[in-house]
Amino acid sequence: MKQLWRSYAAAATAAATWGSLSVVGRTLLAGSDGAGASPMTVSMFRTAAAALVMVGFVLLTGGGPGMRRALREEWRGLCLLGFVGIVMEGTLQLWSLQYTTAARCSIFANTAPIHTVIIARLALREKCPPKRWFGVALGLAGIVLIAASSGHDFYGSGTMLFGDLLALGSGICWGAYTVFAVGVTRRHGALVSSALAAAAAALILIPFGAPGVPAAVANLTPRGWLGILWLGVVATGIANLCWFSALRRLPAGALGAFNYAGVALTVIFAACFLREKLEPRAWIAIALIVGSIVLMAAPRAEKKGGETAQ
């Protein structure tokens, strides 16, 4: 039971960190600190920083043989995970921040729990009790309510719908990533799997992000580079390690619920740091989201013999 709750703590840490991602990304891509930097280039820098940290950590902790074995046995699967869960998910989310608010980006990107439960049911035949389906509905209600409370074209861009759709695509990618990473994680471990997926994603991004490097170097301020390091080292590297660690013991459908916490935190951060409007009904939505986490993530009652059912 102690290990189970440690997994919940790891998932909560990842969600809390991801709560800052849209706010930092919006500040970087739409502000003067990141003038001239394209989403593809920022994504490349971010992913490379995350990969260096994670691969370095695995090597320092004696995981070199495990990395070689994982690459030898299923490098194709690791490349696919890196492409879907890091390249596509991360780039779509950063791209959307040029067109929509940080709060709305997080709202639509974090529809991932809905996709996770559905994909896990269809692809893995993962059992989903009625309580969890009700949690999905409750969380969705909270997301809809937040969307309604943040529905103004705050930045006057006139292209918020396009940004919302990009963020929704990011959520679908993360839902698929969460489900299909289960097998790789259990075979090779959280650290090895996440590090190699990030390394593969960094390599995939080079031909797309490299053309924008001269403009980024010329225009990014020191605070802009600090933002990229935060996005890469903390919001991608450390957060993904926590996520993969939790994935070893939690069902994919239950783990997906923690994305809802990221929505609530992003809305709060966006209101505090970007002055995006947070209406009173948004607080009701946050309460609904917390309720969905309790329903979807809490362990079931123990069976006879001390085994906990999930």
pLDDT tens for residues 14-25? Answer: 888 888 989 999
Exposure string for 125-153, b = 16+ CB within 10 A, e = fewer: ebebeeebeebbebbbbbbebbbebbeee
Q: Where are the domains of the chain?
A: 2-297
Structure confidence at residue 304 (pLDDT) = 40
5 or 272, higher pLDDT = 272
252 has a pLDDT exceeding 90: no
137 has a pLDDT exceeding 70: yes
Confidence at 32, pLDDT banded by 50, 70, 90: low
Average pLDDT score, the chain: 81
Q: Mean of the pLDDT values across residues 271-275?
A: 85
Residues 44-74 have pLDDT tens digits of: 999 999 999 899 989 998 999 999 999 999 9
If phi over 0 gives left and psi between -120 and 50 gives alpha, with beta otherwise, what is residue 277?
beta
> In angstroms, rounded to a whole number, what is the distance separating the alpha carbons of residues 79 and 89?
14
Structure confidence at residue 156 (pLDDT) = 46
308 has a pLDDT exceeding 50: no
Q: Mean of the pLDDT values across residues 110-129?
A: 77
113 has a pLDDT exceeding 50: yes
DSSP 8-state symbol, 127: -
Structure confidence at residue 63 (pLDDT) = 92
